[in-house]
Structure 1
Amino acid sequence: MKRKERIYGEIKNLSKLIDKDSLYNDAEIGYSAETVSANLSIARNTVSQELNLLHKEGKLVKIKSRPVLFVDKNQLETLLDISIDKEHWEIKSFEELKQYYYWEKHSPPEQDGIFQDPFQMLIGHDNSLKDAINKAKSAVLYPPSGLHVLLSGESGVGKTFFAELMHKFYELHRKQEGPIPFVYFNCSEYYNNVELLTGQLFGYIKGAFTGAAQDKVGMIKKADGGFLFLDEIHRLPAEGQEKLFSLLDKGTFRKLGSGIEEQATVRLIGATTCDINSTLLKTFLRRIQVAISIPSLKDRTLQERLEIIIFFLQQESAKTKLGIKLSYAFAYYLMTHNFEGNIGALKSEIQYKCAQAFLNVMTKGYKNIILDDTFVTENIHMNEVKIKTILESIFNKNDTIIITPESEGFLLQEYNSKDNEADEMNFYSLLIKEYDALKNRFSYAESRALLENKISTLFQYTFYNKSMSCSVNHCSRRNLEVPMTGKIDKLIKKLEEITGKILDESTRNNFYLHIYTFVTYMKKGINPPIYNAPFIIEHYKKEYEKAQQICDYMSKFLNIPCPKSELIFMTLFLNALYDSNLGEAKDLSCGIVIIAHGKMTATSMADFANALFKTDMVEAIDMPIEQSISDTLEELLQLVRQKSYKELIILVDMGSLTTFGEIVKRQFGIETLVVKNITTEILLEITKTLLYNPKPLKDMLLYFEQLSKQYTLLVQTVKLTEKKSKVLITSCVTGIGTAQKIKTLVENTFKDLLPQDFRIEAKEYHLINTQEKLLGQVKEDEEIIGVIGTFNINLLDIPFISLEELFSKDGIDLLVDIIGIRNQLDNADNRLEDITRNFVGSITLQSLIDYLTILNPEKILTEMEEVLSILCNKLKLRVSKQVRLRFLIHCCCMVERIIINKKPLEYKAKIQHQNYNEILSVIKLSFATIENNYGIELSKGELNCIYEILQQ
Structure 2
Amino acid sequence: MKRIDAVYKKLKELDQGKGATAGEIADALELSRANVSNDLNLLFQEGKVRKEGTKPIYFRIVPDGGPESEERTLDSFAEKNPSLFAVIEQAKAAVLYPPKGMPIMILGETGTGKSMLAGLIHQYAVEMGKMTGEAPFVLFNCADYANNPQLLISQLFGTMKGAYTGADADKAGLIEKADGGVLFLDEVHRLPPEGQEMFFAFMDRGIFRRLGETDIDRTAQVLIVSATTENPDSALLRTFTRRIPMILRLPSLDERTIEERFNLVSEFMREESSRLGKQIMVSVNSMRAFLSYRCPNNIGQLKTDIQLACAKAYADFVSRKKEEIKVSSMDLQPYIREGLYKETEHRQLYNKFIGFDKRYCIFAKGEKNMLLKEGENEGSIYDMIDLRVHELRSKGLSAEELESRMEKDIADYYRKYLYKVDQSGYLPSIENIVGSEIIRVVEEIIKFSEERLGRAISKKVYYAMAVHIPNSLERLRKNRKIVNPQLNKIRVEYSEEFLVAVDCLKIIDRVFDVSMPIDEAGFLTMFLVYNDQKIAEEKKEVKIIVIAHGTSTASSLAETANRLLGVQYTVGINALLEEKPQQVIVKLKTFLKEEKIKSDLLFLVDMGSLINFGEEIEQEFGINTKTIPLVSTLHVIVATRKAMLGYSLDEVYQETLAVNTYLGDDSPNVNLLEEQTDKLAIVTCCTTGKGSALVLKNILESKLKLDRNIVEIIPVNLVGKEDVQERLKTIGKTHRIMCIISPLGVETKIPQFDFNDVLNLQAIATIQELVEIEVTYYKIGEALENQLANIKARTALKDIKGLIHSIEDGLKVKVDTKVLIGVALHIGCMLDKLLSGGTIVPFESKEQYMAQYPQLYTRVQKACAALADKYRVSITEDEICYIMMFFLPYIE
Higher relative contact order at CA 8 Å, sep ≥6: structure 1 or structure 2? Answer: 2
The two structures share one fold, judged by TM-score above 0.5 = no
